[in-house]
Amino acid sequence: MEDEKEIKNGLGGWLIIVGIGLILSPFLLIFKCYSGFAPIFADNTIQILTDQNSPSYHPFWGPYLYGELTFNLVLIVASLYLIFLFFKKISIFPKYFIIFVVLNLLFLFIDAMLIKIVLPNEVIFDANTSKEIIRQFIYASIWIPYMIYSKRVKATFIN
């Protein structure tokens, strides 16, 4: 039988699920960015929304769209950095992971509120937005306490 200390350190147990999620994260974020922003740039919608002479113009469209794109790119880079921290078992991983999860959740709320400035008649929390917020909230509710209280996390991320 393995020593209890050996069982509780290393990238095993529930950390395998965290690792799989981390590895998938940049790919999912890239797909989300590409599917959301490529059409806007490809069909010149960005030009229509940001041109002062366009009937669809709103002064906040440009900052909103470029801000959202920038934040998504930051999340992609952050997820790659988290993967590095995870596999190197660096001690700051749990803290940065928690920050990453909280920022994702806050971003969903802030993004929904900001779109209300540009499209005041739209429902803020439509079915897709609500589903994503609930999904992210459940994810945070599971993994943040795990990162804080898990003996395996404490024993693994010590470098």
**Grouped pLDDT means (10 residues each) for the chain, 159 residues:** 54 90 95 92 89 89 92 95 96 96 93 87 85 94 95 90
**What is the pLDDT, as a whole number, of residue 6?**
53
The amino acid that residue 12 corresponds to is G
**What is the pLDDT, as a whole number, of residue 116?**
86
List, in sequence order, the alpha helices (H) in the chain. Answer: 4-7, 15-42, 45-50, 61-88, 93-118, 127-149, 151-156
pTM of the model as a whole: 0.84
Q: Which of 8, 148, 159, 144 is nearest to 92 (CA)?
A: 159
Residue given tokens 């988290």 in the structure block: 82
**What is the pLDDT, as a whole number, of residue 8?**
65
Domain hosting 110: range is 4-156
Q: Considering its fold, how many domains does the chain have in total?
A: 1
**What is the pLDDT, as a whole number, of residue 128?**
87
Within 13 Å, how many C-alpha atoms sit on residue 72's CB side?
19
**What is the pLDDT, as a whole number, of residue 2?**
46
